[in-house]
Amino acid sequence: MVKKTISLIISLFLILLEFNVNAFATEFSVSAKSAVLINANTLEVLYSKAEHEKRGIASTTKILTSLIALEYGEPQREVTATKEAVTVEGTSIGLKAGDKITLISLVYGMLLESGNDAANVTAFAISGNITEFAKVMNTYAKKIGMTNSNFTNPSGLTNKNHYSTAFDMALLTSVAIKN
């Protein structure tokens, strides 16, 4: 009898919780021009606002660059930073030409410090140059379902041909969460 009572109380609680969550979701809004909230496992859209509009994506680009570094490279592989790779505008982890660093450290530098130099060194290590790496990025993006995105560089520096959508970035993030 006690188990049935506890089960009934838990069931009522869950029903009320579901009701409250649904009531909240209808009132939810964000100030961003584009947004989407998805279930990372099922890709069910829970909230959306202009989720397919193309926009600049800045440093969130480094999520894709990091995934490629981990999938196509050996995380413990040591690479040497070149002058061409570390000469970049924006944020940096302070790499200098000749520095030796592992791919996993570059990933940390991209994701924790938003290091554009780390993104470039990664691109050179994986593909030899930024143009070839951008091709890898676009192929990978299409493979995971990012159909409204185009990448021109590994760090997210502004370029009219470097863009994505909130929905595509949610797909990318769902892949990253599983990695």
Angle between helices 103-113 and 116-127 (to 10 degrees): 150
Q: Is 33 a catalytic residue?
A: no
Q: Is 49 a catalytic residue?
A: no
Residue 26 C-beta-side C-alpha neighbours within 13 Å: 5
Q: Are 174 and 43 in contact (CB under 8 A)?
A: yes
Q: Which residue in the list 34, 62, 105, 155 is annotated as catalytic?
A: 62
Q: Which residue in the list 92, 105, 114, 155 is annotated as catalytic?
A: 114
Strands 100-102 and 35-38: unpaired
Q: Is 62 a catalytic residue?
A: yes
Nearest to 122 by CA among 160, 173, 88: 88
Q: Which residues pair with 36 in a beta bridge?
A: 48
Q: Which residue in the list 34, 59, 92, 127 is annotated as catalytic?
A: 59
Any idea which residues carry the catalytic annotation?
59, 62, 114
